[in-house]
Chains A and B, each alone.
Chain A
Amino acid sequence: MEIDVQLVPGPIAETISPHSIGRHGAWLEFRGVVRDEENGERISALEYEAYPEMARREIRRLIEEISARHPCLAAKVVHRVGIIPVGETAIYVGVAAGHRAEAIALLAEFMNKLKQDVPIWKRRALSSVAANVNLQNAGSPQSADLHRRLQKMLSLDEAMSEIQSRCLPLPGVRASLEECHGRVLHETVCALTDAPDGDRSTRDGYAILQDDPLEAFTVVDTLHAADWKPRELKAGQAVRVATGASLPCEHLRVVMQENVERTGDKIRITKHEAASNMRKRGAEIKAGQPLLSAGTRLDAGKLALLASAGCVRPLVNPRLRVVHFTTGDELVPPEQAPKPGQVRDSNSILIRSLLQKYACNLEQVHLPENFELAKSVIGHRPSVFENSDLLLISGGASVGDKDFTRPLLEWLGFEIVFSQVNIRPGRPLIFGQSGARIAFGLPGNPLSHFVCFHLFTATALAKLTGNEPPKFLRSLLAVKLEEAPNPRETLWPARLDAAGLHPLAWASSGDMTCMAETNALIRVPANHSPMATGTEVKFLPTATLLEGS
């Protein structure tokens, strides 16, 4: 029996002629064609991988084995590998036999066994977007445009403004003050009452009528700080008051006890003073006056102000629901000693800590760096993902970040808005959107994570919560920034102190010691390095003054 087996990287010929012309009564041909659907997903190509030596031997062995039972004259099998677009042939089988029955039986059994034993794999399905790019299918104007957009490398400013224009504030919710730290006020809160709500004494002393000309008074009452005993005073009457006490009526002044001589219930002023020693009603805040305006981020002092004004359920941004997928099969938990080739996972705690200043519920899930396994992990806990506002994927290193993160985001229904930013570190940043949901594929190295979070994720978080996006500030270089000109805009890790910015040495985007020192990122425009001491530069603070000191 003649058996011809081929694995080919390109299209399979339209017609293949039988080898045994004259002897066969049946020539049966079968073509397995790539369909536009794989596991319920619309796709535009499949990528096949083979173990070529063994695949060829297995195909030959199977045909020999089957033809012992269903004798045939010749068989030809051609399997294509690599990326195969929808509608094109993945496998061709031609069988020549004396009669059709043997050919049909051999073909049927061969195809079943091929799918069990021949080491050829559908490596991955390419969704419509990804496949157009990978195939460089510049034929149609639509895919050409898509190609341009996906391959386009945005500048830092373009990327920031793209994120700002696509992220909208989530609708506000009312929350108790205990839950509001770090959240952004979505309404302007006004004072309901004057503060103080009446005239109050600022001294221990005696309250008398403002314009009482007398020198001697009768003490008619005593008021402690918490007392509230309104009464009209007459000329010649005084009320003993403590510091902070509410005065019993309007138009009074307070004489300090040091300037008074007391005998029983009588006092006499021994020294006149100009001050009235009181805080007037509404001196701090008048009723109706704005206390905090919409867009204010609530910290301890502001929450105390809201409490004092009785605003106990302000309208604020909802707690963000953030899902963080870590990937990378080389990662082990920090408490575990890494074996050769493994590294401890530092991105999980990095992201968790960076998110701490935002009110959010964070779910962190480690995904196996295999598309099918990853899909099944997500599929087992769909609610985790479906209820999220923000999805972060930390790329792994063992597969190119984009090879994994991008198809995963597309599978999850995200439109990839851009996938590269012309900066370092952090160039392969992926930004995706699905309705109101936002996703970032963060490049795997910790320093890239750090930079991309402060630039891009923080911008999205600010917009989603209704806050002001991060802004670059200006300062001077305390020491020179020594580096050969670089064609890419650089976010240079630095330490800011009273003397200015100190650029830190960073060897690679995986540099962790440098990250631990960093409290600012210097914006070094393309080809602007080196920069002399004293140069004014833009920088982004990455820690508050308290944290950074």
Chain B
Amino acid sequence: MRVLFFAQLKDVTGCDAIELAAPALNGEQLWAELQGKFPALAAHRAHVRLARNWEYATPGMMFSADDEIALIPPVSGG
């Protein structure tokens, strides 16, 4: 699965996307994977929403290998 980072999370991870070789994960497992790779993400977790295939993820949603996942920090458009 592909995971995208935006705005300040690009600074935190040092990249704008990574490829995660993982089977289906729930939100908790996904966060565990990501924090394993980028411990600094932990500080942002409370404010970051997950998106799957261009929509905000809902509680209990599973993320699978073909999904495009994005970490959405607080937005500030307009």
Contacts and interface: CB of A to CB of B under 8 A. Distances in A.
A115 B77 contact: yes
Contacts of B72: 51, 54, 119
B75 A119 contact: yes
A411 to B, nearest CB: 16
Interface string A47-59: 0111101110100
B51 A119 contact: yes
A119 B6 contact: yes
Contacts of B7: 49, 121, 123
A341 B78 contact: no
B75 A121 contact: yes
B8 A54 contact: no
A370 B76 contact: no
A90 B70 contact: no
Interface string B36-49: 11011001000000
B27 interface: no
Given A57-B55, A398-B11, A50 B77 contact: yes
A77 to B, nearest CB: 10
A117 B54 contact: no
Give the one of B39, B43, B77 with max A CB within 10 A.
Answer: B77
A329 B14 contact: yes
A57 B56 CA distance: 11
Contacts of A353: none
A116 interface: yes
B4 interface: yes
Give the one of A54, A117, A340, A369 with max B CB within 10 A.
Answer: A54
Contacts of B11: 329, 368-370, 398-399
A177 B17 CA distance: 58
A90 B72 CA distance: 20
Interface string B14-55: 100000000000000000000011011001000000010011
B12 interface: yes
A120 B6 CA distance: 9
A377 to B, nearest CB: 12
A370 B39 CA distance: 15
Please classify how large the interface on chain A is, using the bins under 10, 10 to 19, 20 to 34, 35 or more. Answer: 35 or more
Given A54-B70, A398-B14, A115 B76 contact: yes
Contacts of B13: 329
A527 B61 CA distance: 62
Nearest to B73: A121
A132 B3 CA distance: 34
Interface class of chain B by DSSP: mixed
Contacts of A190: none
Given A54-B70, A119-B51, A119-B70, A370 B78 contact: no
A368 to B, nearest CB: 7
Given A51-B4, A341-B14, A369-B11, A120 B77 contact: yes
Contacts of A357: none
Contact of B77 (A57, A114, A371, A372): A114
Contacts of B6: 49, 51, 119, 121
A57 B75 contact: no
A395 to B, nearest CB: 13
A90 B70 CA distance: 24
B49 to A, nearest CB: 9
Nearest to A93: B78
B77 A79 contact: yes
Contact of B76 (A122, A397, A398): A122
A51 B17 CA distance: 12
B56 A117 contact: yes
Contact of B78 (A49, A51, A91, A369): A91
27 contacts: A49-B6, A49-B7, A51-B4, A51-B70, A54-B51, A57-B54, A79-B77, A79-B78, A115-B75, A116-B75, A117-B56, A117-B75, A119-B6, A119-B75, A120-B75, A121-B6, A123-B7, A329-B14, A329-B40, A330-B14, A339-B36, A339-B39, A368-B40, A368-B43, A369-B11, A370-B11, A397-B14
Given A117-B56, A122-B76, 9 more contacts: A49-B6, A114-B78, A117-B75, A119-B6, A121-B6, A121-B7, A341-B14, A368-B43, A373-B8
Interface of B: 4, 6-8, 11-14, 36-37, 39-40, 43, 51, 54-56, 70, 72-73, 75-78
Interface of A: 32, 48-51, 53-55, 57, 79, 90-91, 111, 114-123, 329-330, 339-341, 368-373, 397-399
